Chains A and B, each alone.
Chain A
Amino acid sequence: MELIAVENLTKNFGGLRAVDGVTLQVKEGELVSIIGPNGAGKSTLFNLITGYIRPDKGKVFFRGEDITDLPVHQMVRKGIGRSFQLLNVFSELSVFENIRMGVQAHLGYGFEFFTPLDRLKEVREKVPAIIESVGLTGKETARAKDLSYGDNKILDVAVALTADPKAILLDEPTSGLAAKETGRMVDLIRRLSERLTILLVEHDMNVVFSVSGRIIVLNQGRIIAEGMPDDIRKDEGVQEAYLGGEWGC
């Protein structure tokens, strides 16, 4: 079954057509990567699908339902989660608090005015499992701004997981990470892909080719190729897009 379907999505920034009539489908359980040279429109496409910006034309469907104009918070409740390319957690909060705020939203709390925060046992009890599932156990009380860059990126993904999404869109999860941290993130992506549908934008081609079930290549806002990792590697059009056959990194 198609979980995410994008139809003829188009977005202009001034005179620049950042995303130009993109149509794609992601099936339940798939891990699909979107690659392309800088400025190909990957991030814009991501932002369009997750409601961060609104398209000029085209539609986004989630489980067959048109979600193009849905407010972000409703999209999240339908089951679409996302991480961010640039650090976007609550830097003043601890790891535990970051996760707790997500769990609180997911369980529908927020308009309790006089309940002490700690009184919400149901919320508190769900937090450790999520922290453990991403491997941040032991760092619960550390404030996000005191964490390493790699831990922050993992926390960013963990925060998205609190909404218990069906699909998660990861925007450059390994950018800026050292080799060891990249390895941790790849492990996490692999583990997540066992239970979630994942759409991935990623610069590191080693990561892309090792985890993806399918790859979509974007250039100048258009899809120029789509297929299994091996097919994409051999595709001449793709190699040209990446400047004379060299894979960008």
Chain B
Amino acid sequence: MNLSNKILILIKHPITLALFLFAILPLVLPFIGGYISLATEVIIMSIFALAFNLLLGYTGLTSFGHAAYLGLGAYGFALCELHLTQRIWFVPILSGIVLTGILSFLVGYVISKKKGIYYSLLTLAIGQLFYFVGFRWNEVTGGETGLTGLVRPTLEVPGLFSLNLSNALVFYYFVFVAFLLTILLLWRIVHSPFGAVLQIIKQNEGRAKYLGYNTFWYKCVCFTISGLFSGFAGALYAMFTYCAFADYLYWINSGDVVMMTLIGGGLTSFFGPLAGAAIFIIARNLFSSFTQNWQIFMGIIFVIFILFFPEGLFGILKKQKPFLSKGIGG
């Protein structure tokens, strides 16, 4: 394969399109009544929804408590900034990821033997457990008032460049790079031998065992990876909002990520969650700007999607463009 062919394939790749759209998002959003920080929220929630979809869309595991891992990432980031260091910019982010990774591994280990509704209820209960710990443990999490006064570090290579992340646009593109990293890693994971096993577990876990796969460990590791990326999104979210609250872990937010993923079409496409996060956050912003009862409208949108387009936005698109669908072939 020569170089121009390779470049052509790269340009035509759906990841390129997704990146392009997200790269210009803060530039076009003002035209539809949005602002830069709305785009930032979309992109952080996209990372979260992609992480969530590794469980729901690829492995068929429904977590109703995933906001907990977003919140833990935020706590991990905040605790590191407040008590350890804010000097080296990536250390607080890393501690958000590590804290979430450890806890999601433990949770994954406990729940991965369970199936169906028991699995989902356990995720919900454990998620709420984390929420209440966050809400009550004043000494560590700040309880109701949360952890505030966080700072966004300045990215600096002395003599070369210095990026001030408290600038909204600069911060957006910082998160964009995080998003790029996430999308590349997750894309590789779902198209790896590991990702292929996840997808046959979704189709028929019993038979996957009869091929010789120890499905317990696959589900446990999958939950951990999903937790790691959720924690990553959570750390970015703490940077974004300059604080970490117990509210981030609340189960309503777990419902939101389910909604984003389903509306966008996470069950049919790798990219579904991106569209879902964008639709969800922009619609929420739009509705809440002219009515206090915006949740009713969000509910109606969700119901319409589930009734008439159960495969989400990408389920509709897929019929025109088959390359958008996922599959473990090729």
Interface residues of A (CB under 8 A from B): 50, 52, 71-73, 76-77, 81-82, 84, 88-94, 96-97, 101-102, 104-106, 109-118, 120, 123, 159-160, 162-163
Contacts and interface: CB of A to CB of B under 8 A. Distances in A.
Contacts of B210: 50, 72-73, 76, 81-82, 160
A116 B191 contact: yes
A114 B213 contact: no
B207 A115 contact: no
20 contacts: A73-B209, A73-B213, A76-B210, A76-B211, A77-B212, A84-B207, A90-B204, A93-B200, A101-B200, A101-B208, A102-B211, A104-B193, A105-B197, A110-B194, A113-B189, A113-B195, A116-B191, A117-B330, A159-B211, A160-B210
Given A101-B211, A102-B211, A104-B193, A117 B204 contact: no
Most chain A beta-carbon contacts within 10 A, residue among B196, B203, B214, B218: B196
Contacts of B14: none
B299 interface: no
A117 B189 contact: no
Given A88-B207, A94-B329, A73 B192 contact: no
B328 interface: yes
A91 B236 CA distance: 39
A131 to B, nearest CB: 15
B215 interface: yes
B221 interface: yes
Contacts of A109: 193
Interface of B: 185, 188-189, 191-197, 200, 203-204, 206-215, 218, 221, 225, 327-330
A88 B191 CA distance: 23
B193 A90 contact: no
A118 B327 CA distance: 13
Contact of A93 (B191, B206, B328): B328
A91 B192 contact: no
Nearest to A111: B194
Nearest to B184: A114
Contacts of A112: 192-194
B197 A101 contact: yes
Given A109-B193, A112-B194, A117-B196, A97 B328 contact: yes
B212 A117 contact: no
Query: Would you list the 7 A-B pairs with minimal beta carbon distance, nearest first?
Result: A105-B212, A72-B209, A105-B211, A76-B212, A112-B193, A73-B214, A109-B193
B193 A163 contact: no
Contact of A92 (B193, B203, B213, B214): B203
B203 A90 contact: yes
Given A112-B193, A117-B193, A88 B204 contact: yes
Given A101-B197, A115-B193, 10 more contacts: A76-B212, A77-B212, A92-B203, A97-B329, A110-B213, A114-B189, A116-B188, A117-B195, A160-B210, A163-B211
Contact of B200 (A71, A76, A90): A90
Contacts of A82: 210
Contacts of A84: 207
A110 B215 contact: no
Contacts of B189: 113-114
Contacts of B211: 73, 76, 101-102, 105-106, 159, 162-163
